[in-house]
Structure 1
């Protein structure tokens, strides 16, 4: 998760992401949730195993998020983020019997408020044998993809930090957006691991809001594009680092990326079908967030946001592709959703390609006029609306 700040809110107001209106998917138990400035009101503390749809209304005064957490209070079972003031969104999960927690996060920062125990009763959910095999294959394939991306990330970050420490700033500037591609493709997975994402990818407002040291990608960015950083933070908040400072920052980023590699390659690393589908949705939320790529806040010094934008879309498409056959097998509704997503992913990538590519580079995002950003936002909406239905379709009951 990235943090937000008030100045960015107006920049994202025009987006109006589709999928923000809560619905009650067929076959899902619907539970009302109200997020306010001080409370996270969940209508009931119990539910029956199966598909559960949390219909979250934001009655507060800040953009908010809603989470379902595992019994340890740390691992994320499902989340819906970037819920605008006055808007509603639905989070659908497939829950087995057990103990969970619900929590809201107004402002999308800090530990959240109203963390409450939530119990799922009933029987274990049975899966059709043929679908179970398809599920196992999808999870295995996507897990392998995730591990591959993190392996490439280790190498890309090492190349970036080597150039940075050596003082080869032109090469480091070239490598900065390239090194981030692998991270952006799997960002929701990376965010599962406690304090790693804050150290690796928080922007300065996020680090300040949570009382953290400003490190990682964006501290290197602030050093490499220091003129831009000084314009944004004129009170000597992001001074140029000396050689010792550069070496310490580079070592820390490499250490944190290696820790991420170790986590996804450990025997304890397990993904579910819901992780994959909700991760796809989360990747597009990362683009549209008030401090995200579409408003131009992610890479505020380098203006390399389009690299991240494209990588998030790529990652979402890979996640969708992993479960595509399962969705298509869900009868006419599933087949129609797959066809729509195929078309909208192509349209989104075709539009982004008009601004460049990884090999030749993307245009600097500060040169993209607001009407063109609106066009990107409209296409993002067109993709996000059907993608918001992916979890329910994949985890739902076949029509056939």
Structure 2
């Protein structure tokens, strides 16, 4: 996985979390019916209300703790409705989600680890609060097709990679590694929404759950990446892991069509992809052995840009200045990436260990310049002009 995040709880464990010590209700009466204030600290996750109308819900988040935190809205089985990551101390963030009537959980994760401090909440009513713009229904349908296509196209590329591993062909496996990850990286937030697939296929060593043994429990791309570039050899363990990767990604492909996708989850997912770039790719932590970070970087940006392009007809009508700024910042970031191409192929980039501090800082600034307006996209597509 792109950064150190521990696996979400299983559905069984989630069902047992009816109440969690340290997660309390705080009734201050502020905010509209669809607004929930979330006050996060190192020990608590306070919410201003436990019930709110179904439809578009806005979380006004404030981190009053000493640790960087993240806030999730979860289904009861721990699938992700929406999330906001990397909320530093004394920072405020807004998260807009679309929910149907039913039970959910709000989770704060101080230190961005573990299952978090949780609060059970309920959306009331018969469905969404307002009739949705048909252009947004079209955007969701097209994005769903895009996500499925990415999964369909990924599996043959993964097989080229895993076949090379099973054959013990080190150089062929190295060559096939980065291309095998592009479709996954473009659609990561949808894959992560299932909760239990990402820890199997994309976790880094430092993202393993407490008590897991890296030699026994670490699976997926990055475990194989370490063997190819650091260990420089392929043993039976790696061959077995290659077959496991095929199986786990086939499961992902099968489940993609059932993912819960809404206009707000598309917009939030685009922001999450930029967060992934900021916390893993720009730092060089994601592909620490292969240094193929810029391939992931490009794929993350492409996935975010696709979601934005589909939502743009509504966003540009509701918030024309925001759409103009997003167009500008996407173009600027694409231009920055072009500086680091190492060939005519759109996914041939300079090895990231060869990218200097000044260039990394320039890329980081470009990501930040895009992430700020992108964080407002969800609100732009669920509000009236």
Equivalent position SS for 2:212: coil
Out of 348, 356, 359, the residue aligned to residue 361 of structure 1 is 348
Task: Give the conservation status (yes or no) of the 8 Å contact 1:293–1:308.
Answer: yes
RMSD over aligned Cα atoms: 2.2
Judged with a 3 Å threshold, the aligned counterparts in structure 2 of structure 1 residues 108 and 317 are, in CA distance, closer, same or farther, namely same
Equivalent position SS for 2:294: helix
Deviation at 1:55, TM superposition (A): 2.1
Deviation at 1:359, TM superposition (A): 4.4
Judged with a 3 Å threshold, the aligned counterparts in structure 2 of structure 1 residues 102 and 306 are, in CA distance, closer, same or farther, namely same
Task: Give the conservation status (yes or no) of the 8 Å contact 1:64–1:108.
Answer: yes
Q: Aligned equivalents of 1:106 and 1:319: distance in 2?
A: 29
Q: Aligned equivalents of 1:297 and 1:57: distance in 2?
A: 27
Equivalent position SS for 1:85: coil
Judged with a 3 Å threshold, the aligned counterparts in structure 2 of structure 1 residues 65 and 360 are, in CA distance, closer, same or farther, namely closer
Residue number in structure 1 paired with 2:254: 262
Residue number in structure 1 paired with 2:376: 389
Task: Give the conservation status (yes or no) of the 8 Å contact 1:3–1:107.
Answer: no
Residue number in structure 2 paired with 1:94: 98
Q: Kindly provide the CA deviation profile for residues 69-99 of structure 1, in whole angstroms up to 9, marking residues without a partner as x.
A: 12x2412121111112332211122344332
Residue number in structure 1 paired with 2:293: 305
Q: TM-score, length-normalised on structure 2? A: 0.86
Equivalent position SS for 1:101: strand
Q: Aligned equivalents of 1:124 and 1:90: distance in 2?
A: 23
Greater mean alpha carbon deviation, residues 192-201 or residues 141-150: 192-201
Task: Give the conservation status (yes or no) of the 8 Å contact 2:56–2:129.
Answer: no
Task: Give the conservation status (yes or no) of the 8 Å contact 2:312–2:323.
Answer: yes
Out of 327, 334, 337, the residue aligned to residue 322 of structure 2 is 337
Residue number in structure 2 paired with 1:61: 66
Task: Give the conservation status (yes or no) of the 8 Å contact 1:293–1:305.
Answer: yes
Out of 334, 346, 353, the residue aligned to residue 349 of structure 1 is 334
Q: Aligned equivalents of 1:39 and 1:98: distance in 2?
A: 24
Q: Aligned equivalents of 2:336 and 2:181: distance in 1?
A: 21
Residue number in structure 1 paired with 2:13: none
Q: Kindly provide the CA deviation profile for residues 329-380 of structure 1, in whole angstroms up to 9, marking residues without a partner as x.
A: 32xxx22222211111111011101101654621111111112111111111
Q: Aligned equivalents of 2:34 and 2:179: distance in 1?
A: 43
Q: Aligned equivalents of 1:248 and 1:302: distance in 2?
A: 21
Deviation at 1:246, TM superposition (A): 2.1
Residue number in structure 2 paired with 1:22: none
Deviation at 1:108, TM superposition (A): 1.9
Judged with a 3 Å threshold, the aligned counterparts in structure 2 of structure 1 residues 134 and 220 are, in CA distance, closer, same or farther, namely same
Q: Aligned equivalents of 2:326 and 2:211: distance in 1?
A: 37
- Say whether 1:31 aligns with 2:23: no
Deviation at 1:250, TM superposition (A): 0.5
Out of 121, 124, 128, the residue aligned to residue 121 of structure 1 is 124
Q: Aligned equivalents of 2:119 and 2:130: distance in 1?
A: 29
Greater mean alpha carbon deviation, residues 372-381 or residues 38-47: 38-47
Residue number in structure 2 paired with 1:4: 4
Task: Give the conservation status (yes or no) of the 8 Å contact 1:67–1:80.
Answer: yes
Out of 240, 248, 266, the residue aligned to residue 248 of structure 1 is 240
Q: Aligned equivalents of 1:257 and 1:95: distance in 2?
A: 28
Q: Kindly provide the CA deviation profile for residues 4-50 of structure 1, in whole angstroms up to 9, marking residues without a partner as x.
A: 39xxxxxxxxxxxxxxxxxxxx9884433222222211122222344
Q: Aligned equivalents of 1:326 and 1:27: distance in 2?
A: 23
Task: Give the conservation status (yes or no) of the 8 Å contact 1:53–1:92.
Answer: yes
Q: TM-score, length-normalised on structure 1? A: 0.83
Q: How does 1:1-400 map to 2 (within 5 A)?
A: 2-4=2-4, 29-70=34-75, 72-113=76-117, 115-122=118-125, 124-125=127-128, 127-128=130-131, 132-209=133-210, 211=212, 213-226=217-230, 241-242=234-235, 244-265=236-257, 268-289=258-279, 292-330=280-318, 334-356=319-341, 358-359=345-346, 361-397=348-384, 399=385
Task: Give the conservation status (yes or no) of the 8 Å contact 2:33–2:53.
Answer: no
Judged with a 3 Å threshold, the aligned counterparts in structure 2 of structure 1 residues 51 and 378 are, in CA distance, closer, same or farther, namely same
Q: Aligned equivalents of 2:38 and 2:358: distance in 1?
A: 35
Count of aligned positions: 355
Deviation at 1:59, TM superposition (A): 2.7
Equivalent position SS for 2:42: coil
Residue number in structure 1 paired with 2:23: none
Q: Kindly provide the CA deviation profile for residues 93-126 of structure 1, in whole angstroms up to 9, marking residues without a partner as x.
A: 234433221111122222112x111123356445
Q: Kindly provide the CA deviation profile for residues 136-190 of structure 1, in whole angstroms up to 9, marking residues without a partner as x.
A: 2111110000000001111111001111221221121121111111110000001
Q: Aligned equivalents of 1:193 and 1:258: distance in 2?
A: 14
Gap runs ≥5 in structure 2: 6-30
